A and B are shown apart, each in its own frame.
Chain A
Amino acid sequence: MHATLCDLITDLVQNSIEAGASEINLKVEETQTNLNVVIADNGKGMSAELLKKAKDPFYSDGEKHKHRKVGLGLPFLFQTAEMTQGEASIESTENIGTMVRFRFDPEHIDLPIFGNFTSAAVTLMSYGFEGNLSIERSVNGETYTVSKNELTEALGDLNDLESLTLMKQFIETNEEEINKRPDGSNRSVQSV
């Protein structure tokens, strides 16, 4: 299992990148009672048969590593859902795309901590792929959106140190804004 939920999210969005998606939408919504995440892509998708296999930790298509016998990304998600009485689902259509959704109870004692969303977003935005990634993020009704296309338009090469630094500031300030409590104090932003 991943140490934080942001690690889990990073891992799952990378699946979309590796599926050759040109559009990936990531929605991460926190409320008092729910954590809702949706990752939707228009990548190569999977057949029903392959989808079944993808949930098996002892299956990998072997394309990245010929001798590897494990694939843990999706199994980590289903394990976390099972352990915390959450819900997780994956739908996929070949040549159309894939959608992964999950809903966890933030209060469940066995749920990994949320983690640092800014780091997760910065690493995903600068992962180095052709397509676009749009993030819709909300905490208790406060929302912001950011997309790889608009960041590239404003900053140029996202792997430059200057761009990375500015992008991090941008996402961090937006995170601070939506994590503000009504009294002006900030929800503690966990970093692990």
Chain B
Amino acid sequence: MAKMTLEELRNLRESKKKEMSQRDGNDKSAQIIIGMGTCGIAAGAKEAFDAFLDELNTREIMDTKITQTGCMGLCFSEPTVEVDVPGMPRVIYGNVDEKVARRIVKEHLIGKALVSDHIFDKPAADIIK
């Protein structure tokens, strides 16, 4: 693709916005929070980030936000990802590589079922303190 300019970027965003508003409005969006501390980066959180971005686009689940946070204190199970889908419990997944990221999109975001073999419970209260 030829080099994109800021002007083209602005125009593309505008046309996408129009497309979006023509679709059925569901203002509650899912959120994916990726742990991007030193530990997360070292374990491949950026690859998970790219996989989420790609899979969500392929499956056209546009009403989703991908945000980042620092280390969640679960360095042994990085990359860790917290997934918040309206109407479902907030879940922390561990060891989220590219494959698991794609599974989370398919099974959790679309299928509304938890990816059980990668779930982490929140750490016990005394650990958080």
Q: Which residues of A contact B (CB under 8 A)?
A: 2-3, 6-7, 10-11, 14, 18, 64-65, 72-73, 76, 116, 119-120, 122-123, 126-128, 144, 150-151, 154-157, 159-170, 172-174, 176-177, 192
Contacts and interface: CB of A to CB of B under 8 A. Distances in A.
A126 B9 contact: no
Q: Which 10 A-B pairs have the closest CB atoms?
A: A177-B3, A154-B10, A173-B4, A159-B65, A154-B9, A119-B46, A170-B4, A7-B41, A173-B3, A161-B64
> Which range contains the number of B residues in contact with the other chain?
35 or more
Contacts of B50: 119
Nearest to B56: A161
B37 to A, nearest CB: 8
A167 B6 CA distance: 10
A187 B6 CA distance: 24
Contacts of B46: 6-7, 10, 116, 119-120, 123
A38 to B, nearest CB: 20
Nearest to A15: B38
Interface in B5-24: 6, 9-10, 12-13, 16-17, 20
B114 interface: no
| Dominant SS among interface residues on chain A | helix
Given A122-B49, A151-B9, 10 more contacts: A2-B41, A119-B50, A126-B67, A126-B68, A154-B9, A155-B10, A159-B65, A161-B56, A161-B61, A162-B16
B42 to A, nearest CB: 6
Contacts of A154: 6, 9-10, 13
Contacts of A18: 70
A155 B8 CA distance: 11
Interface of B: 1-4, 6, 9-10, 12-13, 16-17, 20, 36-38, 41-42, 46-47, 49-50, 53, 56-57, 61-68, 70-71, 73
B71 A64 contact: yes
A174 B41 CA distance: 24
B16 A11 contact: no
Contacts, number: 99
Contacts of B36: 10, 14, 123, 127
A161 to B, nearest CB: 5
A130 to B, nearest CB: 14
A42 B45 CA distance: 27
A165 B16 CA distance: 11
Nearest to B72: A65
Contacts of B68: 123, 126-128
B9 A64 contact: no
6 contacts: A7-B46, A18-B70, A127-B36, A159-B67, A167-B9, A176-B1
B71 A162 contact: no
Contacts of B53: 161, 164-165, 168
A150 B13 CA distance: 13
B57 A170 contact: no
Contacts of A166: 9, 12-13, 16
